[in-house]
Amino acid sequence: MILHLIRHPEPLIEPGICYGQLDILAKNVKTAAERLRAELPPDLPVWSSPLRRCRELAEQLHPAPIFDRRLAEMDFGAWEGRSWDSISRAELDAWAADLADYAPPGGESPRQLQRRALDFVGELSVPEAVLVTHAGVIRLLLAAHLKLPVEQWLAQPVAYAARVVLDLGRPGSGDV
């Protein structure tokens, strides 16, 4: 199976704010969609996170995208909507010390996000698809496929409105 993993365009939010599952709009959606349509094979099914920054792009890419909560960004719980600078050093240090399994208060851990994203992909039964989603989902799907060590899970850069092609039939593939 080939997956075209697309990150949403840049969100309309002040820099430095933790916005995992906040439902915010994105900038330049139509421009991003035009560019991506030219890059994508025609007539592929599209699944998307239901969050508006993904939803709007998915609706530009396909007349009837399918929305699935498992493609939503990590739930940062009590950190949502707060500036990263306002989160206590102790909480950030606890996350850094246990990158895979630490969950912000009321939120989820990267490993929990990875499990739900992998569950979603495991249920797909198409040869090729587009997934409009978030950097966290893309990074953790790549990490699982490439068998990256935990300390590299969140290190892969994923630009806004970028496409990553993941060929699940080829171990080690993950072209940006």
Give the per-residue SS3 of 17-48: ECCCCCCCCECCHHHHHHHHHHHCCCCCCEEE
33-68 pLDDT, tens digit per residue, is 999 999 999 999 999 999 999 999 999 999 999 999
88-120 pLDDT, tens digit per residue, is 999 999 999 999 999 999 999 999 999 999 999
Rounded to 5°, angle at Cα 50 from 32 and 85: 80
Average pLDDT over the chain, rounded to an integer: 95
The beta-strand segments (E) located in 24-167 are 46-48, 66-67, 128-133, 163-167
> And the tokens for 151?
């300390």
The pTM of the full predicted model, rounded to 2 decimals, is 0.94
The beta-strand segments (E) located in 96-142 are 128-133
